[in-house]
Amino acid sequence: NAGVTQTPKFRVLKTGQSMTLLCAQDMNHEYMYWYRQDPGMGLRLIHYSVGEGTTAKGEVPDGYNVSRLKKQNFLLGLESAAPSQTSVYFCASSYGGLAGGPSNEQFFGPGTRLTVL
């Protein structure tokens, strides 16, 4: 099993360009998440999904859109990139929700390092 994979691993964009980050998981998890991680700050939730065809906003959703057309894939889109979106983006998945218990362990992908110039 590959677990959670992300593409691309690195990307440099110019301000105003668009791109899509792809996350895939092969663990049949219902829940998927997109986070960003910035120096000195904890992981912040951008959007999440509780199942195929559903998405919801997290803590910092502005400037991002997501789609979950297939259970195993969760896409993060930046329509018009800004320098403030320079960050490391992590995708994660989990079997359960976050009400507690070991089934709520989140499995993370290796991350995408995005720089917006």
**Contact residues for another protein (CB under 8 A)?**
35, 40-45, 56, 90, 97-102, 104-106, 108-111
- DSSP character string of 4-63: EEEE-SEEEE-TT--EEEEEEESS--SEEEEEEE-TTS--EEEEEESSTT--EE-SS-TT
- Cα distance between the two ends of the chain: 36
- In the complex with another protein, the residue whose CB is nearer, 14 or 41, is 41
- In the complex with another protein, the residue whose CB is nearer, 52 or 107, is 107
| Shortest distance in whole angstroms from residue 117 CB to another protein | 21
- In the complex with another protein, the residue whose CB is nearer, 12 or 98, is 98
| Shortest distance in whole angstroms from residue 4 CB to another protein | 8
| Shortest distance in whole angstroms from residue 80 CB to another protein | 27
The DSSP bridge partners found for residue 6 are 23
